Structure 1
Amino acid sequence: MEINEILALAMFGSFILLLFTGFPVAWVMGGVAVLFSFISIIMETQFDAFIGIDWNYVSIVVPRIWNIMTNWVLVALPMFVFMGMMLDRSGVAEDLMSNLSKMFGQVRGGLAVAVTFVGLLLAASTGIIGASVVLLAVLGVPLMLRDGYNKELACGTVCSTGTLGILIPPSIMLVMMGDRIGVSVGDLFLGALFPGLMLATMYVSYIFAVGFFKPAHAPVAQDTQKLSISIFIGVFKAVLPTVALILAVLGSIFFGIATPTEAAGVGALGATLLAFSKKRLTLDVLKEVGRGTTKTTAFIFALLLGATAFSLILRGLGGDEMIEGFLHGLPFSPTGIVITILVVTFILGFFLDWIELTLIILPLVAPVVVNLGFDLVWFTILFAVCLQTSFLTPPVGFALFYLKGVAPEGVNLGHIYRGVIPFILIQLIGLAVVFYWENIVLWLPAMAYSQ
């Protein structure tokens, strides 16, 4: 093994180890890049070892950072974040939960189904996992526990449904993926829609199955009202504003009226008007949402800058070539290599979150997948579905800890861990479906281009 390959392995290993110190990920990536830049330059200049990295090579990071800061696509990020945070404070979710629980409360598992529908609408209008999980937990878990729901089912429903926003557009993760590997964000949005809806349908099917086979785990809600016109009207009024906003954002992208960046501006304005119509728009709310958007955007861009420096140095050390050689050297067919990548990604999801995997792993394996003859949009959506499990798998599944932070008394981590297991299995089944039927991803983008 050559010296630069040893340094590449040491660089990646140092990054993984330093993540467990709790130090901010952006500074870990940037700091490791700076450290190994100096090590490489010293070894090349002082010890006559050929590394391939000198001051001229390291200086390339400056124009790359400039390209990130002037990237028109990434302008969508702060506006989508603003849209999600404003919707979180608009009161829409409370109205949805109240009215949908009345409609679905007539059947076993109905409250959990109502939570899933609310989560699906939040996913298609916010895309912020922490906010979605916390909101669903505050609104849905106490209602389900009051009516005698199994704690594991209640927790698993909230955690899994809350993570749909990472996949269903407008997803911040898909925007970052498109930027990192040079794929159209609009294509990723189109490709992710059906897989996201499929997963939500599978969640609902599982909940109904639990209600049928284990009635005590998902009983009929207490004090249910008979279905009436007034209930349907209430549901229509609650759903209409959110659906209108979703159509304004995603519809403008899907029909080619606006780019994702322009649609993000429409969404931010729409969420503000929605909060105003609900009489929730105050100066304090604007300040809070503005500060939250600024902090989140700064965090994301710091990650992008750190990942840019890290990737540049790792590539200079031959890390991408080493990974490509390793994958091509596996005794598998091209399909087997893609499966291996997904299996490794799933395992890494136990220890890393989607940000590290998106910024570091995806750009390394994407060229290999293209060389093997696979469609990059299809593979990216596969990768995204696989990453969704990283929110649910301990020890660093963030959705688990979001829920634990607001869970009612009597709900512990054991209930949450056991509750997400069936939903992780459902996600893996969904991943297999997308893998074997790639048109689930590719049909909608193809239809959009054929018009």
Structure 2
Amino acid sequence: MLALMALGVPIAIAMMAAGLAGLIVVGTLGSALTQLTLVVWSEGSNFILLALPFYILMGNLILQTGIARRLFHGASVWLNWLPGGLAIASVFACAGFGAVSGSSTATARTMGSIIVPELRRYRYNMSLGTGVLSASGTLGILIPPSIIMIFYGLMTETSIGALFIAGIVPGIIVSVIFATIILIIALIRPEAVGTRRQRGEISWRHRVAALGDVVPVVSIFALILGSLYFGIVTPTESAAVGVLAVLVYGAAIGKLSFKAIRLALVDSILTTVMLFMIIIGGYLFTRFLAQTGMTAGIHAAFAAADLGYVGFIVVVTVLYLILGCVLDLFGMMILTVPILFPMALQLGIDPVWFGIYIIIVAEIALVTPPLGVNVFVINSVARDVPLGKIFLGCVPFVIGLLLFVVVLATWPQVALFPLAGLR
């Protein structure tokens, strides 16, 4: 599998080929093809996974309506007086877009194309600027609704609604951590944040008017989370509600032409197919691992090590950092969650908390070399910035995420307290 990836074969095809070949070796060609058929059918017809294309479509429609650009404008109007205010605004704009797109790469790609020119305009150090955008893009999978939360909930039979609600506070805290890191860098190295507007250049009237740029995102976010929280809709239905809300808003402001809708649909289809291929390939590979006895062997090794809560968290964190070097987010979760989740339950770890923890650790993998998916996405919109400089710009934010993992592991209620009234 790793050899195929090194040759440039897409991750989905590499996992599928290795899994299918392995099933043939440990079984027969007929049994391997039967497993392939069963995986394709079971995952392709899974009702819960309908939420994936709907959330992807919602993010693409939002891109076509111009909400993302307006969101960044509103954030920059309010935060530009701070040292590094433009970069801080990009963090909260990414958080806002992530709240209605559910995708890390979509957040990085969309906001990167909007914000990179502004960072150049104000002469920001582009290592810092691209690092901020790469790291802030990861907020798309932490702040609900999140595609990866849906996938984790499906794999572990954990309440997706509970995962969504549990992700809100950690998402806000991580956003504040990123903003604080930028502020510290700006105070220590003012030259890194270039020029900036002064506080008096923007009137309060302009700032109040700019709140209108944020209202659409807040309204859609409140509609999705509110309908879920009060049990009005299921997670899959909430995705459809979100798409409908964006369509109505786009039609109301005259920003959604048939051409724009077609472009959004085409991009959503391509992304959905890619995700389903990764899911199918990953499940085939894990079925092969299970038949070899490797899964049971790992369980036995962990049990014999008697790691305890702290040891387990440290091992899983290191494991994800290593896997992030060669696998994307879905690949990592498919290969690890079926093994790690039962161990977490044996240690008395809350399944909702474990999902939030896994997602935050996976965020780190999205901005670490050599794969660093978000870094490559930002590099595609800032081609003159070498990958090494972008990875270097991510370092302070990786440290911030690791510190938050420590906080979350020490005080699990940081994520769980909003669920108190639902349990």
TM-score, L = length of structure 2:
0.93
Q: Is the 8 A contact 1:211 1:219 kept in 2?
A: no
CA distance in structure 2 between the aligned counterparts of 1:408 and 1:64, rounded to whole angstroms: 39
Q: Is the 8 A contact 2:134 2:378 kept in 1?
A: yes
Q: Is the 8 A contact 2:35 2:284 kept in 1?
A: no
CA offsets per residue over residues 166-185 of structure 1, 9 Å max, x none? Answer: 21111111111111222121
For residue 35 of structure 1, the aligned residue among 21, 25, 33 is: 21
1:264 matches 2:264: no
Aligned-pair CA distance for 1:422 = 0.4
Secondary structure of 1:403's aligned partner: helix
Aligned to 1:12: none
Secondary structure of 1:221's aligned partner: coil
Map 1:399-418 onto structure 2 (within 5 A). 399-407=374-382, 409=384, 411-418=385-392
Aligned to 1:11: none
Aligned-pair CA distance for 1:219 = 5.0
Aligned-pair CA distance for 1:322 = 0.8
Secondary structure of 2:232's aligned partner: coil
Residues 317 and 80 of structure 1: CA distance in aligned 2, closer, same or farther (over 3 Å): same
Aligned to 1:428: 402
Aligned to 1:168: 143
CA distance in structure 2 between the aligned counterparts of 1:370 and 1:194, rounded to whole angstroms: 23
1:199 matches 2:185: no
Map 1:1-400 onto structure 2 (within 5 A). 15-41=1-27, 59=34, 62-219=37-194, 221-222=196-197, 226-330=201-305, 332-400=307-375
Q: Is the 8 A contact 2:54 2:239 kept in 1?
A: yes
For residue 437 of structure 1, the aligned residue among 406, 411, 414 is: 411
Q: Is the 8 A contact 2:81 2:198 kept in 1?
A: no
Aligned-pair CA distance for 1:55 = 6.0
Secondary structure of 1:351's aligned partner: coil
Aligned to 2:393: 419
CA distance in structure 2 between the aligned counterparts of 1:97 and 1:293, rounded to whole angstroms: 23
Q: Is the 8 A contact 2:127 2:392 kept in 1?
A: yes
Secondary structure of 1:243's aligned partner: helix
Q: Which structure has the bigger radius of gyration?
A: 1
Q: Quick one: which amino acid aligns to residue 63 of structure 2?
A: D
Q: Is the 8 A contact 1:111 1:144 kept in 2?
A: yes
Q: Quick one: which amino acid aligns to residue 18 of structure 1?
A: L
Q: Quick one: which amino acid aligns to residue 434 of structure 1?
A: L
Aligned-pair CA distance for 1:225 = 5.0
CA distance in structure 2 between the aligned counterparts of 1:347 and 1:32, rounded to whole angstroms: 20
Aligned-pair CA distance for 1:68 = 2.4
TM-score, L = length of structure 1:
0.88
Aligned-pair CA distance for 1:70 = 3.1
Q: Quick one: which amino acid aligns to residue 364 of structure 2?
A: T
Q: Quick one: which amino acid aligns to residue 448 of structure 1?
A: L
CA distance in structure 1 between the aligned counterparts of 2:112 and 2:60, rounded to whole angstroms: 17
Residues 321 and 116 of structure 1: CA distance in aligned 2, closer, same or farther (over 3 Å): same
Q: Quick one: which amino acid aligns to residue 32 of structure 1?
A: A
Aligned-pair CA distance for 1:72 = 2.1
CA distance in structure 1 between the aligned counterparts of 2:16 and 2:126, rounded to whole angstroms: 42
1:447 matches 2:421: yes
CA distance in structure 1 between the aligned counterparts of 2:367 and 2:22, rounded to whole angstroms: 33
Which range is displaced more, 349-358 or 100-109?
100-109
How high is the sequence identity, in percent, across the aligned residues?
27
Secondary structure of 1:280's aligned partner: coil
Secondary structure of 1:392's aligned partner: coil
Secondary structure of 1:279's aligned partner: coil
Aligned-pair CA distance for 1:57 = 8.9
Measured on the aligned residues, the alpha-carbon RMSD in Å equals 2.1
Q: Is the 8 A contact 2:279 2:331 kept in 1?
A: no
CA distance in structure 2 between the aligned counterparts of 1:392 and 1:162, rounded to whole angstroms: 9
Aligned-pair CA distance for 1:358 = 1.0
Q: Is the 8 A contact 1:107 1:220 kept in 2?
A: no
Q: Quick one: which amino acid aligns to residue 343 of structure 1?
A: V
